[in-house]
Every structure is written in C-alpha cells, then in structure tokens.
A = this chain, B = another copy of it.
C-alpha cells in the first residue's frame, strides 16, 4: 500500500527523535542530527507525503482514573472474507477500540479497548464481540495497571545503531 521509501541515517535518527517528542522545532532537530532546519523540513514533509508519520497527542491514562483499559482475545468461527471485512470495519470504526492485532496461535485477535467505565466496556464488548456465526469466543482481561504505554517502532536494527556509535 505505502510506497517504499528509502531511509538514510539522518532519517532514522529524525524518526527516533520525532517518536519521542514531535513538538521539537526544526532547528532543534537539525542541531541534534547535524542538518539545517530546511533539510529537516524537507525530510519531514516527505515522511508526511508518504503517509509514514502522523502527529498525535498521547494522554496520561493515569490522569483519568475513570478510564478502563481492557485486553480481549478473540477467536473466529470461520473466517469468510465477508465476515472478516465486517469485523475489521467494526474494529476500526469503534472509538472504544484502541488497537487490534491478528495473531499467530490459538487466539486469532488481540484487541485493546479503552472506555470510561466497566459498564461502558461491557456494552461495547457485547456489541463488538457478540458471539454469532462470526466470532467463536472471546475473553476479557481488565487492565489493573499500566506499566508502559507507547507505539514506538524501531526503524533500524539495534546492532546497526551501536555499531555506528562505537
């Protein structure tokens, strides 16, 4: 889907910085990687045009004591293209669904949910995971504590990073 984009060392370092803090100025980014602000800007524009990067605000979940997080494992009864597409559409459309991954193994999907109460979670789960011809079984595990939360991706192997440093 996305057009392949070739990344050099500057790109990898910029993407790492931006994943930590996207509010930095082009000047600060340029100083960090050894590039002029204009060069940094051109690169970031390129990332955006390729749909590689989007800037979002991440809220501190502990600041919202009412928020209920839950992990749900799901297995499908039989995966016809039609029912699967419907499931995907439901996951993407539902504001309660934060993340949804297809897994290898006995469980087909992992879904991370976020709601404002256990009641709201129950409602959403019954609506989204109703056991019918599509979904065979699902299990809910409420989140007691958030140890770490982020979406950071490594864009190059750790060995390449340390090799370059050493």
- Residues on A facing B (Cβ under 8 Å): 1-2, 4-5, 15, 18-23, 50-64, 67, 69, 71, 88, 91-92, 95-105, 107, 109-110, 112, 114-117, 120, 139, 141-158
Partner of A53, one of B58, B112, B151: B58
Q: Which B residues are CB-close (under 8 A) to A88? A: 147
Q: Which B residues are CB-close (under 8 A) to A19? A: 56-59
**Complex: chain B residue closest to A156, CB-CB:** B116
Partner of A143, one of B91, B101, B155: B101
- Contact A141/B107 with A120-B158, A148-B98 known, Cβ cut-off 8 Å: yes
Q: Which B residues are CB-close (under 8 A) to A62? A: 1-2
**A164 CB, min distance to chain B CBs, angstroms:** 14
Asked if residues A101 and B22 are in contact (CB atoms below 8 Å), the reply is: no
By DSSP majority rule, is chain A's interface helix, strand, loop, or mixed? Answer: mixed
Complex CA gap A116/B155 in Å reads 7
Q: Which B residues are CB-close (under 8 A) to A55? A: 21-23, 55-58
Q: Which B residues are CB-close (under 8 A) to A146? A: 99-102
Partner of A57, one of B18, B117, B158: B18
Asked if residues A148 and B103 are in contact (CB atoms below 8 Å), the reply is: no
Apart from A22-B55, A51-B60, A107-B141, what are 4 other A-B pairs with CB-CB below 8 Å? A18-B56, A21-B54, A97-B148, A120-B157
